[in-house]
Amino acid sequence: MPRTALRICPLCEATCGLTLTIDGTRVTGARGDRDDVFSKGFICPKGASFGAADADPDRLRTPLVRRDGVLREATWEEAFDAVAAGLRPVVEQYGPHAVGVVLGNPNVHTVAGGLYPPLLLAGLRTHSFFSASTLDQMPKHVSSGLLYGDAGAIPVPDLDRTDHLLLIGANPLESNGSLCTAPDFPGRLRALKARGGTLTVIDPRRTRTARLADRHVAVRPGTDALLLAAMTQVLFEEDLVDLGQLAPYVQGVEDVAAAVRDFTPEAVAAACDVEADVVRALARELAAAATAAVYGRIGSCTVPHGTLASWLVDVLNVLTGNLDRPGGALFPLSATDKTPRPAGPGRGFALGRWHSRVSGHPEAKGELPVSALAEEIDTATDEGSPIRAVIAVAANPVLSAPDGDRLDKALGTLDFMVSVDPYLNETSRHAHVVLPPPPPSQAPHFDFAFNTLALRNQVRYTRAAVPLEAGRMAETEILARLVLAATGMHGTDPAAVDTMVIDQTLGKAVTEVHSPVHGRDPRELAAQLTGDNGPERRLDMMLRLGPYGDGFGSRPDGLTLEKLLAHPHGIDLGPLTSRLPQPLKTVSGKVELLPGPIAGDLPRLRQALGERAAGLVLVGRRHLRSNNSWLHNVPALTGGSNRCTLHVHPEDAERLGLVDGAPIRVRGAGGAVTAPVEITDTVRRGVVSLPHGWGHDRPGTRMSHAVLDPGVNVNQLLDGSLLDPLSGNAVLNGVPVDLLPLDTPDRPATSARDLAPQN
């Protein structure tokens, strides 16, 4: 008899509750859980294909260990012996920085990824840490770090209550939202319009989201920081600045006024290709709205001025009094956040505490740019060792980061590489050991990351829907064992890792005056923890120490794991509320509106006033039925409009003599690829668009469906040299490209410099 089980969807940031139908141990169906306190039954085509993604026969079932150059099935014991034997000599001989840790996107979608990577990094003490964040939202972390003193304090647009939403470089109708966890983002935009609110979308493409908008501004890619600076200038010039309740918590308003004085609408119009009147209207509409929220995503981050654009998004929210108020942009308070300390000055946020060995890129939030991973492996310098071993967890940088060909070669030269990945793909094929996590039906789910970005405070936990299959190891245990193997403790019981974290956390909490457990005995507290295993006990501890927790009995109505388990559809913790000044950790204890590093980067923006790409520039796009590089192996999610084609505007196509459907050579600084042309007026003139995550045609992978329609790797067009300097984020959008005859060779004839924007 089929049964049902609840499972939060791990496939995107919307975190929808699913009701799975299960026949034996197989997931045969998935529908939205109507009783989920947050998602209320919403589901998208990816969630509906949960069963197919879960049961993909190409998912690895056992560890693989390389012997005589060939990856072969092995036992878990053999695999971890090989990991310890591969990693430790590198650490001992060349030091910790010779081990690179690469974390990919799915870490933010797993319990294991939330709980163990910090221990791996702390244990290894390597500076060679890279993640998908520097292909994504690092500019936002840096701007939040500088403005609020906390790189994790990211304000979320209050979609359900705002009167005016200004959406920049985001396409939630395909992506379902990002840095704003909102199940049914599309429905929430429609509701905004239905209640008389207005939606403005800034995007070089007329996306499905843009088609919902009252106003769509097809900005020239990479110029949002200029546009937003000009809007800021208008607010000052026309006396529209009104901080309202925020005033006591903000410093530096006058400094910002002076800093943006040159960026008039007239000055930015040509660079942005947006008329000065339109810029003025955007600023006036924002200021006039009863409440408004400015929200920027991928298109505003993965560009040369990503940190400045991210900063200006928040500056506009502050200057219009919309930061930290209902209807504006608010700071969530998640159930596993630490219990808030009293407001007051903090330590602030530092950038560049160390630098990358080869190009001297500054670290940001402890990370080096993943764009620099290849050179950190393949380039020797006088100082320090190149990276000789890599630990990759849920990461496919060969496709997701710039210049995959170079990285592909570099990974092939490592002394040792381990991948924690369910697939043998473009990246994991280089590993000496592959450790496959179980499919999601066999894993629990808790959103440590996305609850801190959710548009409503709520908490939900789902245990594994299906028991671990024989021979499988939970990803939490895989990562705990990996931490031990990497830090010279191979052979220790993995449960010791959780016990150590619990002892340390409770030991610290009892010393903190504001903690609900101040002064108590940590052993007595540890004995109270419930849960079936170490990760669950850690979750119980975090919930109980958190802002809604029971404080181990001091607030008897508060949250515990037991209470959460008794509410399988989740517990609603209420709408977001104003929280300032408590979240601020700047040295001044205020919002520091013009931080030094930002002021230092403004001359580069001023220079961009005169820059214009001479030819075509490339932007990306997402499709509802895809997810980065790893869902192309699920037949139900491929085909139809989800294809790797080059979107070209009809006028550009005519000028260049392009034919719809015919292949064309696209060349950038890092190489060339051939993709079919798709002529569409959804891209603006001068812009072409290719999606990322494709290029499944390398040998030695095991993705039998994906190879049938491999597409091409858009990131091969990049050479990894274009970065946002403050955050180290890769420039993935607004990149100059040429369209050339089909027989053009792979390697570029011109250098990156020749293709860079010209006056």
Ligand X SMILES: Nc1nc2c(c(=O)[nH]1)N[C@H]1C(S)=C(S)[C@@H](COP(=O)(O)OP(=O)(O)OC[C@H]3O[C@@H](n4cnc5c(=O)[nH]c(N)nc54)[C@H](O)[C@@H]3O)O[C@H]1N2
Segment contacting ligand X by CB under 6 A, of 214-222, 282-290, 528-536, 593-601: 214-222
Q: In what order do the strands lie in the sheet with 416-420?
A: 70-73, 64-67, 433-435, 416-420, 389-393, 99-103, 129-131
Segment contacting ligand X by CB under 6 A, of 68-76, 221-229, 251-259, 563-571: 221-229
Nearer to ligand SF4, 46 or 205 (CB): 46
User: Looking at 114, 222, 252, 736, which residue binds ligand X (CB under 6 A)?
Assistant: 222
Q: Whole-angstrom Cα distance, residue 139 to residue 137?
A: 5
Q: What is the DSSP string of 603-624?
A: HHHHHHTT-B-SSEEEE----T
Q: Whole-angstrom Cα distance, residue 521 to residue 539?
A: 19
Q: What is the 3-state secondary structure (H, E, C) of 223-290?
A: CHHHHHHHHHHHHHHCCCCCCHHHHHHEECHHHHHHHCCCCCHHHHHHHHCCCHHHHHHHHHHHHHCC
Q: What is the DSSP string of 149-167?
A: S-TT---EE-TTT-SEEEE
Cis upstream peptide for 710 (omega within 30°): no
Look at residue 170 and give the partner it binds from ligand SF4, ligand X, Mo ion, none, a contact being a CB closer than 5 to 8 Å depending on partner kind.
ligand X
According to the binding rule CB under 6 A, does residue 396 interact with ligand X? yes
Give me the 97-136 binding string for ligand SF4, x by CB under 6 A, dash otherwise. Answer: ----------------------------------------
Shortest distance (Å) from residue 188 CB to ligand SF4:
12
E strand or H helix at 101: strand 99-103
What is the size of the binding site for Mo ion (CB under 5 A)? Answer: 1
Nearer to ligand X, 398 or 593 (CB): 398
Q: Whole-angstrom Cα distance, residue 141 to residue 364?
A: 9
Look at residue 447 and give the partner it binds from ligand SF4, Mo ion, ligand X, none, a contact being a CB closer than 5 to 8 Å depending on partner kind.
none
- In the numeric block, the tokens 């980065």 are attached to 628
User: Looking at 47, 86, 172, 671, which residue binds ligand X (CB under 6 A)?
Assistant: 172
Amino acid (one-letter) located at 437: P
Give the Å distances, CA to CA, from 521 to 354, 514, 526, 527, 742. Answer: 38, 16, 9, 10, 72
Q: Whole-angstrom Cα distance, residue 755 to residue 758?
A: 8
Give me the 355-394 binding string for ligand X, x by CB under 6 A, dash otherwise. Answer: --------------------------------------xx
Shortest distance (Å) from residue 47 CB to Mo ion:
18
Look at residue 169 and give the partner it binds from ligand X, Mo ion, ligand SF4, none, a contact being a CB closer than 5 to 8 Å depending on partner kind.
ligand X
Phi-psi region of 498 (alpha: psi -120 to 50; beta: other; left: phi over 0): alpha
Give me the 159-178 binding string for ligand SF4, x by CB under 6 A, dash otherwise. Answer: -----------------x--
Q: Is 207 helix (H, G, I), strand (E, B) or coil?
A: coil
Give me the 2-41 binding string for ligand SF4, x by CB under 6 A, dash otherwise. Answer: -------x-xx-xxx-------------------------
Nearer to ligand X, 314 or 475 (CB): 475
Q: Whole-angstrom Cα distance, residue 673 to residue 744?
A: 9
Residues 178-217 that bind ligand SF4 (CB under 6 A): 183
Q: Residue 416 in contact with residue 84, Cβ under 8 Å? A: no
Instruction: Specify the DSSP class assigned to residue 565.
Output: H
User: Looking at 13, 54, 136, 408, which residue binds Mo ion (CB under 5 A)?
Assistant: 136
Look at residue 14 and give the partner it binds from ligand X, Mo ion, ligand SF4, none, a contact being a CB closer than 5 to 8 Å depending on partner kind.
ligand SF4
Give me the 583-622 binding string for ligand X, x by CB under 6 A, dash otherwise. Answer: ------------------------------------xxxx
According to the binding rule CB under 6 A, does residue 336 interact with ligand X? no
Neighbours of 494 (CB within 10 A): 21
Instruction: Specify the DSSP class assigned to residue 383.
Output: S
Give the Å distances, CA to CA, from 200 to 193, 206, 214, 293, 454. Answer: 11, 12, 6, 11, 22
User: Looking at 27, 47, 335, 601, which residue binds ligand SF4 (CB under 6 A)?
Assistant: 47
Nearer to ligand X, 450 or 552 (CB): 450
Give the Å distances, CA to CA, from 427 to 213, 411, 588, 638, 698. Answer: 39, 8, 44, 21, 10
- Residue with the shortest CB distance to ligand SF4: 47
Q: Residue 118 in contact with residue 147, Cβ under 8 Å? A: no
Q: Residue 723 in contact with residue 361, Cβ under 8 Å? A: yes
Nearer to Mo ion, 136 or 203 (CB): 136
Nearer to ligand SF4, 184 or 378 (CB): 184
Give me the 118-157 binding string for ligand X, x by CB under 6 A, dash otherwise. Answer: --------------x--xx---------------------
Phi-psi region of 639 (alpha: psi -120 to 50; beta: other; left: phi over 0): left
Instruction: Specify the DSSP class assigned to residue 345.
Output: -
- Residue with the shortest CB distance to ligand X: 299
User: Looking at 6, 22, 27, 44, which residue binds ligand SF4 (CB under 6 A)?
Assistant: 44
Shortest distance (Å) from residue 52 CB to ligand SF4:
13
According to the binding rule CB under 6 A, does residue 205 interact with ligand X? yes
User: Looking at 19, 27, 33, 46, which residue binds ligand SF4 (CB under 6 A)?
Assistant: 46
Terminal Cα-to-Cα distance of the chain (whole angstroms): 69
Nearer to Mo ion, 570 or 720 (CB): 720
For residue 195 the two structure tokens come to 């209640």
User: Looking at 143, 232, 628, 727, which residue binds ligand X (CB under 6 A)?
Assistant: 628
User: Looking at 371, 457, 715, 721, which residue binds ligand X (CB under 6 A)?
Assistant: 715
What is the size of the binding site for ligand SF4 (CB under 6 A)? Answer: 12
Number of residues written out for the chain: 759
According to the binding rule CB under 6 A, does residue 447 interact with ligand X? no
Residues 281-300 that bind ligand X (CB under 6 A): 297-300
Nearer to Mo ion, 136 or 184 (CB): 136
- In the numeric block, the tokens 């690179």 are attached to 100
Question: Would you state the torsion angle of the CA atoms of residues 283, 284, 286, 288, taken in this order, to the nearest 10 degrees?
Answer: 160
Shortest distance (Å) from residue 631 CB to ligand X:
8
Look at residue 43 and give the partner it binds from ligand SF4, Mo ion, ligand X, none, a contact being a CB closer than 5 to 8 Å depending on partner kind.
ligand SF4
**CA angle centred on 534, ends 529 and 535, rounded to 5°:** 100
The residue ranges of DSSP E strands in 349-455, in sequence order, are 389-393, 416-420, 433-435
Q: Are strands 646-648 and 671-679 parallel, antiparallel or unpaired?
A: parallel
Segment contacting ligand SF4 by CB under 6 A, of 43-51, 453-461, 525-533, 607-615: 43-51
According to the binding rule CB under 6 A, does residue 693 interact with ligand X? yes
Give me the 557-576 binding string for ligand X, x by CB under 6 A, dash otherwise. Answer: --------------------
Query: Which residues are near ligand X by CB under 6 A?
Result: 12-13, 104-106, 110, 132, 135-136, 168-172, 174-176, 178, 202-205, 207, 219, 221-222, 224, 297-300, 303, 393-397, 400, 420-423, 425, 437, 475, 619-624, 626-630, 692-693, 714-715, 732-734
Q: Where do contacts with Mo ion occur on this chain (CB under 5 A)? A: 136
Point out which residues bind ligand SF4 (CB under 6 A).
9, 11-12, 14-16, 43-44, 46-47, 176, 183
